[in-house]
């Protein structure tokens, strides 16, 4: 099979879908891999490293997108990239179509592109084998990000997460304790912050309580509890997520107004539309904005600036699924692996994923 790996085009995204080691696994089995010139530069992988792994280097973005029967990306393609895909082509990426503009979905349908969304590949036991590893990385990154944004010169309150003797630590609230929220809760606690974790799932709260050895305060995510913790929070991490669906709004504009000036919201649900009424996507060039005195950070590709680590995480998680399609073909791979079927969103010009169908039905669109 011909497999294409284009360079990521979103601002501040230094990741690439597969490492040279992963590419070698494909080329030694007879598959042709086309890698765009400098695709691995941001994550520390040279064109020569890919050549030595058996890949062909292509020098235009258009060729990189069109040489592969299977295209493997990280972030959702841009609108101009969608126009280059052709009928029957399979494109794997973190698509997050629940929050995409309808024009993008219409373009994909018109081009009859097969869309495999990495964020909804799900095992029978409920585990998301591609989404969860990158979510854990995002969660561990959260304290580093918050620590920087709390500095005065970054527009923050000028406080240290962990405090010092005689001065209390930052108050950190995490709403949603899946893979991202759990990792973030533990990382913030390890940084010395005072951490509160909220979720509607009692088992999720039990897990974070156990894993943190009681260092994280757990609360049921009722509207009343959410409003209560917002009044004293220095940092609020929104990590609510139902893969394939738009994120629910858990912070309304009225609730936002109860927060202290220069408090910080990290909306890690922005990939799925955002979990605050005032959230809108930003990028790594201009990552924050202020509403009602509260700093908002809403970068969808948050791990894009961790190019090397994020690429290793994604490549390790993604390679088995690329191999399955390359070795068996799409139809056989979908038949053999139910987890992969759950990642299928569009095929033959039709929406086939139930969550996306429901969105378009509610908006009066056609599936």
CA atoms within 13 A of residue 269's CA, in its CB half-sphere: 30
pLDDT at 197: 99
Residues 6+ apart with CB under 8 A from 231: 258, 259, 260
Q: What is the mean pLDDT of residues 58-87?
A: 97
- Residue 366's pLDDT band (boundaries 50, 70, 90)? very low
pLDDT at 288: 98
The model's pTM is 0.95
pLDDT at 301: 93
Task: Classify residue 288 by burial, with Cβ atoms within 10 Å: 0-12, 13-18, 19+.
Answer: middle
C-alpha gyration radius of the chain: 21
The tokens for 74 are 């990280």
Mean pLDDT over each residue of the chain, to the nearest integer:
96
pLDDT at 85: 97
pLDDT at 9 over 50: yes
For 7, phi and psi rounded to 5 degrees? -80, 140
Q: What is the mean pLDDT of residues 180-187?
A: 98
Name the more confident of 193 and 101.
193
**Cα(265)–Cα(279) distance, rounded to whole angstroms?**
9
pLDDT at 159 over 50: yes
pLDDT at 362 over 80: no
pLDDT tens column, 256-313: 999 999 999 999 999 999 999 999 999 999 999 999 999 999 999 999 999 999 999 9
Told to judge if 96 belongs to the known catalytic residues of this protein, a careful annotator would answer: yes
Name the more confident of 315 and 101.
315
Angle at 260 between CA 259 and CA 261, to 5 degrees: 120
Report the percent of the chain where pLDDT is more than 70: 98
pLDDT at 88: 94
| Domains with residue ranges and CATH for the chain | 2-127+307-362 (3.40.50.720), 131-299 (3.40.50.720)
**Cα(246)–Cα(254) distance, rounded to whole angstroms?**
21
N-term to C-term CA, the chain: 30
- Whether the Cβ atoms of residue 329 and residue 322 lie closer than 8 Å to each other: no
CA-nearest of 235, 238, 317, 320 to 278 is 238
pLDDT at 364: 46
The tokens for 170 are 């930052």
pLDDT at 325 over 50: yes
| 3-state class (DSSP) for residue 3 | strand
**Cα(209)–Cα(218) distance, rounded to whole angstroms?**
7
Q: Which of 13, 31, 47, 96 is the catalytic position?
A: 96
- Residue 361's pLDDT band (boundaries 50, 70, 90)? low
- Residue 173's pLDDT band (boundaries 50, 70, 90)? very high
pLDDT at 365: 45
pLDDT tens column, 205-262: 999 999 999 999 999 999 999 999 999 999 999 999 888 899 999 999 999 999 999 9
**Cα(231)–Cα(248) distance, rounded to whole angstroms?**
20
Q: Which of 199, 271, 312, 345 is the catalytic position?
A: 271
- Full DSSP string of 237-296: EE----TTSPPPP-B-HHHHTTSPTT-EEEETTGGGT-SBTT-----SSS-EEEETTEEE
- Whether the Cβ atoms of residue 339 and residue 124 lie closer than 8 Å to each other: yes
Name the more confident of 363 and 229.
229
| 3-state class (DSSP) for residue 57 | strand
pLDDT at 134 over 80: yes
What Å distances lie between residue 164 and 150, 189, 193, CA to CA?
A: 15, 14, 11
């Amino acid at each position: 099979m011909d497999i294409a790996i284009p360079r990521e085009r979103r601002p501040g995204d230094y990741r690439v879908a597969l490492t040279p080691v992963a590419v070698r696994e494909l080329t030694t089995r007879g598959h042709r891999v086309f890698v765009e010139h400098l695709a691995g530069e941001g994550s520390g992988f040279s064109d020569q490293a890919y050549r030595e792994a058996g890949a062909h280097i292509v020098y235009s973005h258009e060729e990189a997108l069109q040489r592969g029967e299977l295209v493997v990306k990280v972030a959702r393609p841009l609108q101009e990239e969608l126009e280059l895909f052709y009928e029957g082509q399979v494109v794997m990426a973190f698509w997050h179509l629940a929050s995409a503009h309808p024009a993008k979905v219409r373009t994909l349908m018109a081009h009859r592109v097969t869309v495999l969304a990495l964020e909804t590949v799900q095992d029978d036991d409920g585990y998301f084998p591609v989404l969860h590893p990158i979510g854990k990385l995002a969660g561990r990154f959260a304290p580093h990000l918050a620590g920087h944004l709390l500095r005065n010169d970054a527009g923050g309150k000028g406080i240290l997460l962990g405090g010092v003797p005689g001065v209390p630590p930052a108050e950190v609230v995490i709403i949603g304790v899946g893979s991202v929220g759990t990792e973030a809760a533990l990382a913030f606690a390890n940084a010395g912050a005072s951490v509160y974790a909220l979720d509607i799932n009692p088992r999720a709260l039990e897990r974070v309580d156990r894993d943190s050895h009681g260092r994280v305060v757990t609360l049921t995510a009722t509207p009343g509890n959410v409003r209560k913790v917002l009044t004293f929070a220095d940092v609020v991490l929104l990590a609510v997520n139902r893969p394939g669906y738009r994120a629910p709004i858990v912070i309304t504009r009225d609730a936002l107004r109860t927060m202290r000036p220069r408090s910080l919201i990290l909306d890690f649900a922005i990939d799925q539309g955002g979990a605050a009424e005032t959230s809108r996507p930003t990028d790594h060039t201009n990552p924050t904005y202020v509403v009602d005195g509260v700093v908002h950070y809403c970068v969808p590709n948050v791990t894009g600036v961790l190019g090397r680590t994020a690429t290793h995480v994604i490549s390790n998680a993604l390679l088995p699924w690329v191999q399955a399609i390359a070795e068996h073909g799409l139809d056989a791979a979908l038949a053999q692996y139910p987890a992969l079927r759950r990642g299928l969103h569009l095929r033959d010009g039709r929406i086939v994923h139930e969550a996306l169908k429901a969105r378009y039905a509610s908006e009066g669109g056609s599936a």
